[in-house]
Amino acid sequence: MKISSNLPLLLLVATMLFGCSSDDCMKTITIPQFYYVNNQSYSYNIRQEVPCDMPDLVDAKLIEPVELENFSYEVLLFKFTPDTGNNTSRLQIEIKLNNPNNFAVTGVPVLTLNINGLETSGAYARYASEPCYEIAAGSSCTYTFDMEESLDVGVKSIEFVDAKYLLVNQG
């Protein structure tokens, strides 16, 4: 009789010890990644759910730039004045950047320009008065850039070629 009275207690202890597998334990980690555009690095970290026994990653991995899907743009103003009369040239840009997705994005616009016959891509956002580092879901942002440079720089012509929006984070 003594064995049967301890049986429920033994079953409860066994269930507690073996019933909850550690395989069910999950945690969210950040996977550090980065990419370069014209020698400027950008981070693109991914959050992912993994088993608890998986170690956190600490070494960042070099990846190709991640473009925003379904991205579109509209050039509102692109004006290059090769000589303003003040010994400077002037570049004025207004581009409406559209995020039609149902999620907000954090990133950087990258413009491809033809400068003196040479195509170059760059994130000129640090010089912009409205750099559009964030675009809300189903919304747009007007990238605004207005800069004068000395004629000594030697820029004779600038033409707009293309725009992309590169992501710097995935939530």
Poorest-confidence range of 15-19, 94-98, 106-110, 134-138?
15-19
Q: Which residue matches tokens 């293309």?
A: 162
Is the per-residue pLDDT at 156 higher than 90?
yes
> What is the pLDDT, as a whole number, of residue 15?
46
Could you tell me the pLDDT band of residue 13, with boundaries at 50, 70 and 90? Answer: very low
Helix residue ranges, H only, the chain: 2-18
Residue 23's Cα: distance from chain center in Å?
33
pLDDT of residue 104: 94
What mean pLDDT is predicted for residues 104-116? Answer: 94
Confidence of residue 126 (pLDDT cuts 50, 70, 90): confident
**Is-contact 97 141, C-beta < 8 A?**
yes
Encoded tokens for 105: 């994005």
**What value does the mean pLDDT take over residues 28-46?**
77
Tokens representing residue 134 in the block = 């964030």
**Beta carbons within 8 Å of 136's beta carbon, 6+ residues apart:** 99, 104
Contact 148, 89 (CB under 8 A): yes
Cα–Cα distance measured from residue 81 to residue 94, given in angstroms and rounded to the nearest whole number? 15
Strands (E), the chain: 26-31, 33-37, 40-43, 45-51, 61-62, 72-81, 88-99, 105-115, 118-122, 134-135, 139-150, 158-167, 169-170
The backbone torsions φ and ψ at residue 20, rounded to the nearest 5 degrees and listed phi first, read -105, 100
Instruction: Supply the pLDDT for residue 57.
Output: 67
Looking at residues 107-115, what average pLDDT do you find? 95
Running DSSP on this structure, what letter comes out for residue 67?
A: B
Give the model's pLDDT for residue 169. 65
Quick count: other Cβ atoms within 10 Å of Cβ 113? 20
Task: State which amino acid sits at residue 24.
Answer: D
